[in-house]
């Protein structure tokens, strides 16, 4: 037990079982001792190893930050000159011409992009560069585009 904690307990015992008989000065001394006890406890906690969950949570946050840094992020995107292609600039450098015609042709969710070249042309970078987005809630993940760029040999760094 901390020194202020032991003093607090000793003073409490000296005051007796009936708190209504405690004089104001004694009560103030008791409160100061309680404050010193709390301060001592916080200081000892700060100096000792933190509990396991806190340490694990901090480690997990660190891993998430590392993973986020490793995931591809899009800085800028425009439609390519060839239909159903995207010119992608990656955060950290590099550019890719990505042919998304296979995905657009294979999935029903992308049918509006197949049917409306003007809609495809309104592509934008999504929040935090994690995807590209179109109207009507259509999106395509940055890691999908990165993988396609690598498979197609169209990546230039990043």
Q: Where are the domains of the chain?
A: 3-68, 72-152
Q: Distance between CA 39 and CA 88 in Å, rounded?
A: 55
Instruction: Give 118-148 pLDDT, tens digit per residue.
Output: 999 999 999 999 999 999 899 999 999 999 9
- Which 8-state DSSP code applies to residue 137? G
Mean pLDDT in the chain?
Answer: 77
What backbone torsions phi and psi does residue 6 show, to the nearest 5 degrees? Answer: -65, -40
- Higher pLDDT: 107 or 32? It is 107
Contact (CB, 8 A) for 132 and 74: yes
Question: What CATH number belongs to 72-152?
Answer: 3.30.2020.10
* pLDDT score at 129: 93
Q: What's the pLDDT band for 71 if we cut at 50, 70, 90?
A: confident
88 burial (CB, 10 Å; 0-12 / 13-18 / 19+) is buried
């Amino acid at each position: 037990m901390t020194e202020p904690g032991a003093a607090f307990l000793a003073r409490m015992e000296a005051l007796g079982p009936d708190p209504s008989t405690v004089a104001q000065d004694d009560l103030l001394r008791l409160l100061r001792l309680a404050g010193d006890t709390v301060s001592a406890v916080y200081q000892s906690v700060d100096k000792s190893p933190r509990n396991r969950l806190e340490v694990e949570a901090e480690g997990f946050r660190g891993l998430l930050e590392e993973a986020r840094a490793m995931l591809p992020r899009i800085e800028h995107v425009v439609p390519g000159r060839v239909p159903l292609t995207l010119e992608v600039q990656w955060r950290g450098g590099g550019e890719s011409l990505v042919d998304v015609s296979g995905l657009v042709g294979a999935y029903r969710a992308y049918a509006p992009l197949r049917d409306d070249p003007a809609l495809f042309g309104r592509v934008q970078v999504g929040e935090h560069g994690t995807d590209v987005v179109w109207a009507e809630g259509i999106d395509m993940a940055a890691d999908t585009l990165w993988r396609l760029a690598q498979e197609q040999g169209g990546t230039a760094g990043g």
